[in-house]
Amino acid sequence: MTKSSCYDATVMSPAPPRSGLREVTRRAVQAEIANTAMTLFVEQGYEETTIEQVAAAVGMSGRSVFRYFATKEDMVVGSMAQVGHDIAAALRTRPAEEPAWEALRRALDEPLRALNDDGGIALARSTLLTTTPALRAAQRQKHAQWNELLVPGITPRLEGSAASRQLQAEAIVAAALACLDVAVDEWTRSGGEKPLDELLDAAIAAVRG
Amino acid sequence: MTKSSCYDATVMSPAPPRSGLREVTRRAVQAEIANTAMTLFVEQGYEETTIEQVAAAVGMSGRSVFRYFATKEDMVVGSMAQVGHDIAAALRTRPAEEPAWEALRRALDEPLRALNDDGGIALARSTLLTTTPALRAAQRQKHAQWNELLVPGITPRLEGSAASRQLQAEAIVAAALACLDVAVDEWTRSGGEKPLDELLDAAIAAVRG
DNA sequence: GCCTCGGTTGTCAGTCACTGACAAGCTCGT
DNA sequence: ACGAGCTTGTCAGTGACTGACAACCGAGGC
C-alpha cells in the first residue's frame, strides 16, 4: 500500500512545470541529497542507512527528502531515467538505413564512455548496485523503461508487418540491454579494469554468433 | 532495513530439512495461502490487499503468513524458483554437442507448454504480474536467478577460454530470457491467443537475424 | 514598506510490510 | 504418558512512505 509513487521519480515534477529558478535550486538540492546519500550508502551500506540519517546529514527533515525522491532507491538509480532518454536521443541521430543492432550499439557508445571515464564514482555506484538486491531490482525497473524508450527508434529499421516489427524491436532492444547488463556486471567485477566496450562487443557477438 | 530475508523464499526452508510429513503439510498450507492471496489480488488489486486480509482469509495470523512466505511478492512469484530449477534440469538432459541456443530453446519447451496449457490461471497471474510494478520487479529478480542457474549448462557448449565462455554464456542466457520475457508479455497482451512458442521463436529469430 | 500569493518546510499522526521474542499448544517418537 | 521439536498467536518495534496542516519565505502589486 506504500510507495505507489504513480509517476516515475527523480524528475518527479510532472504536474507543476517549475518556473526557472525554482527548478534550478530544486535540481541542486536533489543532487546534494543524492550525493550525501551515496556517501552514506557506500560507507555503511544501503539497508543499514535510514532516510532519517540521510535527512540529518543534509540538514532537513525526513519528510522533505521524500519531496525530492519518491523512494529511497531513487536516490541511487534516479538519474538512470535521464540516461535512458539520452540513449534514445542518440539512437534518433543514427542514419535511418543503419541496421538495428548497429544503431543500438552506437547509441550506447556515449553512456559507455561516460561510465568508463569517471572510473571512480561510476564504479562505486555500480558495485553498490550489484551488491544490494533492492537496488538491483530498482535498476532493472529503470532498464525496463529504457526498453520502451528505445523500441520506437528500432522498429523503422526492421522488415515485416507492423505487429511483427514491434515484437522484433522489443526482442532486439531487450537482448541488447541484457548484453549491456552482462558487460557492466563483468566490468564491475573486474574493478573497472576490463574495457567496457570490448566486453559489450563480446557479449553481443556471443548472442548473435 | 526490512525484508533482508537473506535466503530466497517460498521454499524458504534451507536450515531445517523438514522431516517427511511436516514438509507435506507445509507445502499444502503454502499453496493454500498462495491461492487465497492470488484470488484476493486479482479481485481487489495487489497493493490494495494487505497481508492481514490474506491471513484472515486463510484463518491464521499475519505473523504466521510470514512463516511461509518471506515477502508479500513471493506469494505470487515464489513458485518461479522451482521453474528455474526445472529449466536447468531440462537443459542438463540436452545432448552435450547441441549448440547453446538450440539447447536453451528446447529447455524452455516444457515450461512454455505449461503456461500455454492451463490458460486461465497462468494468464491471470501473468496479467497481474505485468500490471503491478512491484510484482514485475520481483519477477525480474527471479529471472536473474534463472540466469545463474542456466549459465553452467551453457558454458560447455561454447568455445574459447574459460573466462570468455563464461561471459558468452551469461550473454546468451540473458538474451534468451529477455526474448522469453518479450514473448510472454506479448502473449499476455494478446489474452493468451497468440501461440507462445511461435512468439518466442520470432523473438529469437529477430535477435539472431 | 506592506501584503498577498505560490511554493517549501517541519511536525504530527497514521498505514503497512516485516522482524524478534516469548509463551502456549500440538505432534511425534519412545 | 512424556518430553523434544515444531508451529502458532501475541506483542512490541523498526522503517519506508503518505496525508494534512500550519508556519515560513521570497517575489510582485499596491
CATH no. for residue A54? 1.10.10.60
Structural domain includes residue A15: no
Please say if the pLDDT value at position A99 is more than 60: yes
Q: Tell me which residue in B1, B169, B175 faces A178 most closely, judged by beta carbons.
A: B175
> How far apart are the two ends of chain A, measured CA to CA in Å?
46
Whether A101 CB is under 7 Å from strand D: no
In this structure, are B106 and B162 located in the same domain?
Answer: yes
Domain containing B49 equals 21-71
In this structure, are A65 and A85 located in the same domain?
Answer: no
**A147-204 tens-digit pLDDT:** 999 999 999 999 999 999 999 999 999 999 999 999 999 999 999 999 999 999 999 9
Angle, nearest 10°, between helix axes B119-131 and B109-117? 100
Q: How many separate domains does chain B show?
A: 2
Residue of chain B with shortest Cα separation from A72:
B1
In this structure, are B113 and B51 located in the same domain?
Answer: no
Percent of chain B with pLDDT over 70: 91
In this structure, are B36 and B103 located in the same domain?
Answer: no
**Between vectors from CA B127 to CA B121 and to CA B133, what angle results, nearest 5°?**
135
pLDDT of residue B102: 96
Say which DSSP state B156 is in.
Answer: G
Joined together, the cell numbers standing for residue B170 give 551469461
What is the average pLDDT across B176-198? 96
**B99-115 tens-digit pLDDT:** 999 999 999 999 999 99
Structural domain includes residue A16: no
- Identify the band that residue B7 occupies on the pLDDT scale cut at 50, 70 and 90: very low
| Long-range contact set of residues A49-55: C-beta below 8 Å, sequence gap at least 24 | A50/B1
What is the average pLDDT across B25-44? 94
Q: Tell me which residue in A137, A175, A209 faces B137 most closely, judged by beta carbons.
A: A137
In this structure, are B105 and B199 located in the same domain?
Answer: yes
What is the average pLDDT across B27-53? 95
Between the CA atoms of B182, B187, B189 and B193, what dihedral angle is there, to the nearest 10 degrees?
160
Chosen domain end from B38, B71, B104:
B71
In this structure, are B67 and B95 located in the same domain?
Answer: no
In this structure, are A133 and A61 located in the same domain?
Answer: no
Whether A64 CB is under 7 Å from strand D: no
**A35-60 tens-digit pLDDT:** 999 999 999 999 999 999 999 999 99
Rounded-to-integer distance, Cα B182 and Cα B130, Å: 11
Joined together, the cell numbers standing for residue A107 give 547509441
In this structure, are B65 and B83 located in the same domain?
Answer: no
In this structure, are A204 and A154 located in the same domain?
Answer: yes
Structural domain includes residue A157: yes
B109-119 residues labelled b (16+ CB within 10 A) or e (exposed): eebbeebbeee
Whether B60 CB is under 7 Å from strand D: yes
Q: How far is CA B29 from CA A2, B65, B75, B137, in A?
A: 27, 10, 12, 25
Structural domain includes residue B2: no
Chosen domain end from B50, B71, B92:
B71
Q: What is the gyration radius of the CA atoms in chain A, in angstroms?
A: 19
In this structure, are B62 and B99 located in the same domain?
Answer: no
pLDDT of residue B191: 93
Structural domain includes residue B191: yes
In this structure, are B134 and B174 located in the same domain?
Answer: yes
Considering only CA atoms, which of B157, B127, B129 is closest in space to residue B142?
A: B129
In this structure, are B91 and B125 located in the same domain?
Answer: yes
